Amino acid sequence: MKITGLIPHTIQLPGRSDYKWRSLEVPIGRYVILQIETDDGITGLGEAPAILTWGGENQRYSGEDPEIVTHLTNNLIAPKLIGTDPTDIKGVLATMDEFVRGFSYTKAMVESALLDITGKSAGLPVYQLLGGAARKVIPVCHSVGIAPPDQAAETALRVVEDGIKYLQIKVPGDPTTDLAIVKAIRKAVGDDIVMHPDINRGYKDAKTAINSTRAMVAEAGVWAVEQPVEGGDMMARITAALDVPVIVDEGCWTPFDAMEIARRNSADILSIYFTKAGGLIRSMEIGAIGRAAGMPMNVNGSLEGGVGNAANLHLSAALEGQVLPGVISINTLEGREQTKVGGVFYVDDVISEPFAYKDGCLTVPDTPGLGVELDMDKMNKYRLSMT
């Protein structure tokens, strides 16, 4: 079997609301869907939920956008991959790494499509290619975007009414505002909901982060804090000072980052994105490091559409160790909604079937490959011209 073509499509999914996090400067849902075609007639799918203003701490990892992803795919990656074996995934990763430095979202999209092809060819779901499933049912953590306290509380209450029990709360990085938001949400949802703030590197010094987090623990019962500052030294100071877990996100992209975090004790929990890592294989390597270091982890993302979220689900299934609920979407199809607000960031999608949802959890697809197919009518509806 040989690769005959790589076809990237930029789409814009229709948003449910004006969702925001600190430093987000563009609408979510303007992403790239990739089709890799083969001479056997098997097509693999991948997605790059690329956002130019999203990257690693201290400028260590670049942002990407659909224009960058499309350029890399058409002009650099496709000429190297056409005519090669799509099941030689590690060979393809090595080839891409040789002539494209960085750009992990683009590479993750390509790898996802290759795994989809390999799984379809072998008659196996992707999680089996990763070593099998440690779990088949994945609890969802909903991300509440930055909003005034009353609006954030109203959204959180509607999420809980949809059956979701875990909340990530985006806050702007001002201690007074942050505390007001989490207190309003706690009052609205009650004491049984597990919730934590995501600061997205908003605090500028360790003492502010420590004092603010302690206030949110005492007055709103948050169980953890996510990426309060930028930089491993400050993260280590905060981790040592706090009694609640510290989650690292922007500071953990690669297995090398995970090794450094474990060595320095600069976080308690690893947040893994298959996109940040450059694909599922590297994500599994991060998971192995976390497990060996005794660190829980979660699978988060950039609020992917259905193709990218399929990769999230297979990764969540295959990781060993303690895997906590992560921020993954419940990809809604218009007219086939399973929740009203919980996990819903877009009111429609380009996949033909939704992932099964029940009681706050998604079920991992068990059909060959990623387990998703495109609805080409929806693709045509939401496709954007890149000319």
CATH class of 129-363: alpha beta
Q: How many residues does the chain have?
A: 387
Per-residue pLDDT tens digits for 179-223: 999 999 999 999 999 999 999 999 999 999 999 999 999 999 999
Closest CA to 104 of 323, 249, 280: 280
Question: Which pLDDT value is given to residue 19?
Answer: 75
Q: What is the CA radius of gyration of the chain?
A: 20
Same fold, 3-124+374-382 and 129-363: no
pTM of the model: 0.96
Q: b/e map of 289-326 (b: 16 or more CB within 10 Å)?
A: bbbeeebbbbbbbbbbbbbbbbbbbbbbbbbbbebbbb
Question: Which pLDDT value is given to residue 21?
Answer: 60
E strand intervals along 217-320: 225-226, 246-248, 269-272, 297-299
Q: Could you state, in order of their start, the residue ranges of all structural domains in the chain?
A: 3-124+374-382, 129-363
Closest CA to 59 of 102, 16, 119: 102
Regions of the chain where pLDDT drops below 70: 20-25, 386-387
337/330 Cα distance (integer angstroms): 9
Its CATH architecture, for the domain 3-124+374-382, is 2-Layer Sandwich (3.30)
**35: part of which helix (H) or strand (E)?**
strand 30-38
